[in-house]
Amino acid sequence: TLLLFFFLGSALTSSVPKIKEPLLYPYGKDHGDTRNPKSDDGVSPEISTAVPFPFYGKTYNSIYVDNNGLISFSATVPEFAGTPDTLPLNGGPPLVAPFWGDVYNPIRGDVFWRQTQDPKLLQRCTEEINQYYPEMSFTATWAFVATWDRVAYFGSKSKKVNTFQAVLTTNEELSFITLNYADIHWTTGTSSGGDAKTGLGGIPAQAGFDNGDKTNYYIMPGSRTSDILNITKISNVNYPGRWVFQVDEYVTDHTMDCFF
């Protein structure tokens, strides 16, 4: 599959020591998370961030968590966003798409999120980013954790579920996004042409970033193809299922190292 990449930033190391921490950051009600409503194409209320989050040349003070595997800045995506569009979008807000597909949590699963300045979690963010970007001196002052926990797809007639996560962290100057893929078993809901029994076919899910300016965007490997199922097996930081990106400024001259 030939994919076109516009690289907005990637980890710069070619070999990174394996992290001892588990792939997913802690999440759920026991960790103070808010849970999104169980609804088709549901979205969180506007979340005012405790600090500004830099995202490719601009800073944002509010974000939304969409049930369909999206985080958007300052505005929501359209309600019909269960079927992923090709990046860059023709209009719409800047967004991060950990796994943009037709999630349907009324059948199964939960969408959790929280912003935090908990010292223990910020210490983990700090240590991991400094491992992936050893040439930088980064100390996290804020983080946002959004987790799609064992979520089903629209029209599902199977027990297939996906679990994935996005972690945003910043010191108000530098900012990073970590995408963690624990389990990916389906790609497509029936409204996107998928098979109700397999969750495959049709227009598969997409992962990546979109600045919102129709020029600067990044498409993750396998997006909108059946190969997106393999996102748990590859990485740009030598940790299968984990992808880490610096996102505060435009970075167009970096190459992507993928580890299989």
Tell me if 5 is assigned to some domain: no
Identify the pLDDT of residue 100. 96
Tell me if 166 is assigned to some domain: yes
Q: In which band, very low, low, confident or very high, does the pLDDT at 213 lie, cut at 50, 70 and 90?
A: confident
Percent of the chain predicted with pLDDT > 90: 76
Range of the domain at 142: 35-246
Q: How many domains does the chain have?
A: 1
Task: Enter the DSSP assignment of 88.
Answer: S
- 206: tokens are 């997409």
Identify the pLDDT of residue 141. 98
If you average pLDDT over every residue of the chain, what do you get? 89
Question: What CA–CA distance (Å, rounded) separates 8 from 125?
Answer: 20
pLDDT tens-digit map of 27-37: 999 999 999 99
**pLDDT at 18 exceeding the cut of 70:** no
On whether the CB atoms of residues 27 and 112 are closer than 8 A, the answer is yes
pLDDT tens-digit map of 142-175: 999 999 999 999 999 999 999 999 999 999 999 9
Tell me if 236 is assigned to some domain: yes
Tell me if 40 is assigned to some domain: yes
Q: In what order do the strands lie in the sheet with 34-35?
A: 34-35, 110-116, 142-151, 162-170, 175-183, 242-246
Question: What CA–CA distance (Å, rounded) separates 142 from 177?
Answer: 12
Identify the pLDDT of residue 109. 98
What is the pTM (predicted TM-score) of this model?
Answer: 0.90
**pLDDT at 6 exceeding the cut of 70:** no
Identify the pLDDT of residue 13. 41
**pLDDT at 94 exceeding the cut of 90:** yes
Tell me if 230 is assigned to some domain: yes
Tell me if 22 is assigned to some domain: no
Q: In which band, very low, low, confident or very high, does the pLDDT at 258 lie, cut at 50, 70 and 90?
A: low
Identify the pLDDT of residue 251. 53
Question: What CA–CA distance (Å, rounded) separates 102 from 82?
Answer: 4
Q: In which band, very low, low, confident or very high, does the pLDDT at 14 lie, cut at 50, 70 and 90?
A: very low
Identify the pLDDT of residue 11. 45
Alpha helices in the chain (DSSP H): 119-132
Dihedrals φ, ψ of 55, to 5°?
-140, 100
pLDDT tens-digit map of 51-90: 999 999 899 999 999 999 999 999 998 765 678 888 888 8
Question: What CA–CA distance (Å, rounded) separates 207 from 133?
Answer: 22
Tell me if 173 is assigned to some domain: yes
Tell me if 257 is assigned to some domain: no
